[in-house]
Amino acid sequence: MSNINFNTFTIGVEEEYMVLDPHSRELKSHEQKIVQEGQKVIRDKVKAEMHQAVVEVGTDICRNVDEAFADVAHLRKTISGIAEGLGLKIGAAGTHPFSHWERQLITDHIRYSEIVNELQEAARSNLIFGLHVHVGMETREMAMHIANSTRYFLPHVYALSTNSPFWEGRKTGYKSYRTKVFDKFPRTGIPEVFESIEAYDNYLKLLIKTNCIDNGKKIWWDLRVHPYYNTVEFRICDVPLTVDEAIAIAALFQAICAKIYKLRMQNMNFIQYSRHLINENKWRASRYGIDGYLIDFGKEAEFNTRTLIYELLDFVDDVVDPLGSRHRLQHVHQMLEKGTGADRQLQVFEETGSLTSVVDYIQGQFLHNV
């Protein structure tokens, strides 16, 4: 174990928030005022997104999950305070329960104009809110190895993050409808295995050369090796209601990376399954969240999703203490018992029959435990 430097596995967290009208509870354009005010306080940690009712924030590079927790908590408090000052509210869920995308304004920026011009309605309707977790690696070569192996676990963690059961005023029947909306984009979903970082970089170069993309960041997979930095970026999750959930998910991704790295250092690896098989689990996770069954491809049988997530916690257990993340991962147990964001949104809807009550709940959870 002495040859493993656990400090390598730094964490960065990005979250996308919805800007809400406190009266109608609809999504509301903030005309980039939240971003302008935010940049005075937290500089480039707040950014505009394609839709004007979305605010994106990103942490610094954090050495451990506690730093990440403090950073995300500070970002949520700051953005919430600025929004209050402008007479607006903030919430975090993968989709808004009833706002219609047709009524939302696009941010006036050349990058977004280009995306909308190319992708048309797929881009305009892409009114969704995600959580992205970056985990630092020694090298991009190692990042590619770890990305190949961690693909298998994407549906398991995604099931935990499910937080978008409603779309345009309808109960969709999915625990995460967000990915169904995002699937309309090109270059999304579970990536294939790349045999080396060179193969991956050559793929990016070919797409740029043939005008498919103008830069490597237009690869929108559920998991990608960053085109420039030594990081693996996990992009599959809905943005969670609370900071505790966001950091538990970030801690789980970090632990999975460290575990795969540890196996590699012992000349072992996790079996790599095809994109088609992992996609079966992703679909189940989006439909049923933690209430369904996922397939264990080693045993060629389906198992209760909660059982498999507990198994995943056991699998990473030996790297959790060196990473200093056990107390943050404890929250996963709470999520498995109390339900994901989607389960809790649906529960509010069952009790009240009101989607405005669901929005109030989302907004009320935003600063929970901060």
pLDDT tens, 92-148?
Answer: 999 999 999 989 999 999 888 998 999 999 899 999 999 999 999 999 999 999 999
Distance CA 114, CA 111 (A): 5
Mean of the pLDDT values across residues 47-69? 97
Give me the pLDDT at residue 111, please: 87
Question: Predicted confidence band at 81 (pLDDT cuts at 50, 70, 90)?
Answer: very high
Nearest to residue 258, comparing CAs of 136, 108, 125?
136
The pLDDT > 70 percentage for the chain reads 99
**How many angstroms separate the Cα of 163 from the Cα of each of 119, 174, 240, 291?**
25, 10, 6, 13
pLDDT digits 0-9 by tens, 195-232: 999 999 999 999 999 999 999 999 999 999 999 999 99
Residue 304: per-residue pLDDT = 98
Contact 79, 46 (CB under 8 A): yes
**Cβ atoms 147, 232 nearer than 8 A:** yes
CATH of 6-365, one of 3.30.590.20, 3.30.70.20, 1.10.3720.10, 3.40.50.300: 3.30.590.20
Tell me the mean pLDDT in the region 342-365.
Answer: 98
- What are the residue ranges spanned by the domains of the chain? 6-365
On the question of pLDDT at 1 being above 50, the answer is no
Per the confidence metrics, is the pTM higher than 0.95? Answer: yes
CB burial of 216-246 (b: ≥16 within 10 Å; e: otherwise) equals bebbebbbbbbbeebbbbbbbbbbbbbbbbb
Residue 288: predicted pLDDT: 98
* pLDDT surpassing 80 at residue 3: no
What is the arithmetic mean of pLDDT over 267-285?
A: 96
Average pLDDT over residues 250-259: 98
Residue 2 clears pLDDT 90, i.e. is over it = no
- Asked whether the predicted pLDDT for residue 168 surpasses 90, the reply is yes
Q: Are strands 188-189 and 220-221 parallel, antiparallel or unpaired?
A: parallel
Average pLDDT, the chain: 96
